[in-house]
Amino acid sequence: MIPLNITGHVVEKLEDPFGLLSGDRYEFFIELDVEEEDELYSEKGVGLKVIYVSDENGDKITNYYFYERESEKVLDFELEEDEEELVLAYCRENAVE
């Protein structure tokens, strides 16, 4: 398990100009503090980009990926189930209107 230590975020509500999608969508750029011994660690910093959706069916993460913050290079890692629940709760708490 990757210990997710969230240190901050930037969030933007995504607009659906044609009204085709239900609910609200948010794009999160979550800053992570990763220990040097962790395989996810990068000297350039690590972030997690998340697309979070809140609609009549509930809240969910529809897409995410880890990336190096300085270079924006995508990193090939996945969230474990408990980590995804933590990120979902974080997004739910920090979604803006």
Q: Is 84 helix (H, G, I), strand (E, B) or coil?
A: helix
> What confidence score (pLDDT) does residue 3 get?
62
> What confidence score (pLDDT) does residue 97 get?
61
Predicted TM-score (pTM) of this structure: 0.90
Q: pLDDT tens, 30-89?
A: 999 999 888 988 999 999 999 999 999 999 999 999 999 999 999 999 999 999 999 999
Distances in Å between the alpha carbon of 24 and those of 15, 58, 83, 89, 91? Answer: 8, 11, 22, 16, 12
Q: pLDDT tens, 16-34?
A: 888 788 889 999 999 999 9
> What confidence score (pLDDT) does residue 1 get?
47
